[in-house]
A and B are shown apart, each in its own frame.
Chain A
């Protein structure tokens, strides 16, 4: 079917507001990943979900960041009390399984977040 989709494609918010970013993975993919891409920083891992296992949150930069995955499919990344340094492109990826590191991760187009 379709690839990974993300919404919104662009989000402009004011400092201090909360934002929610959505990711729809490829149907049947059990693993879902969030990354952040900032100018000069490259792609940074944030969090991943695999099936019903506890998510690996080791990349989340602060407790203002959280994510959930409902029903093993759609995921939402929430940033509370946004700061200007949160401005970046947030990318979601999914893969069929996580049993091997060789699994191809398919990326969505990203959500471009701008915090004024």
Chain B
């Protein structure tokens, strides 16, 4: 079993839709949860970061962490064609201090 599981999609939605991206993880020692966005032929860039359980909102993006279920989510409201990218969840903490463990990535396409 992988430490982090993420549905690779692909996911295709119309402009303006609410997008929900999810990951599950297996190691309860992880404490730091991140979402990266990666455009084609580019390196990943940090989108959202959350420590422990709870919600964090930044503009159209909301990250949620439920440590009891080992489940993390990223919601995108009013999705735009410019949001089309691969979204990767990443976790850190415990014995993997300093290195990130990534999910497989979900390919998202927002069509006009």
Contact = CB atoms under 8 A, between A and B. Distances in A.
Interface residues of B, number: 25
Contact of A56 (B31, B45, B99, B105): B99
Contact of A107 (B43, B98, B101): B43
Interface of B: 6, 8, 31-32, 41-46, 49, 51, 88, 90, 92-93, 97-105
B32 A107 contact: no
A78 B103 CA distance: 25
B46 A101 contact: no
If over half of B's interface residues share one DSSP class (helix, strand or loop), that class is named, otherwise mixed; here it is loop
22 contacts: A31-B98, A40-B8, A42-B88, A42-B102, A42-B105, A45-B100, A45-B101, A48-B99, A101-B32, A101-B93, A101-B97, A102-B32, A102-B49, A102-B51, A102-B92, A104-B49, A105-B46, A105-B100, A107-B43, A107-B44, A107-B45, A109-B42
A108 interface: yes
A113 interface: no
Pick the most buried of A41, A102, A108, A109: most chain B CB atoms within 10 A of its CB. Answer: A102
Interface in A83-114: 91, 93, 98, 101-110
Interface in A41-98: 41-45, 48, 50, 56, 59, 91, 93, 98
Interface residues of A, number: 27
A59 B102 CA distance: 13
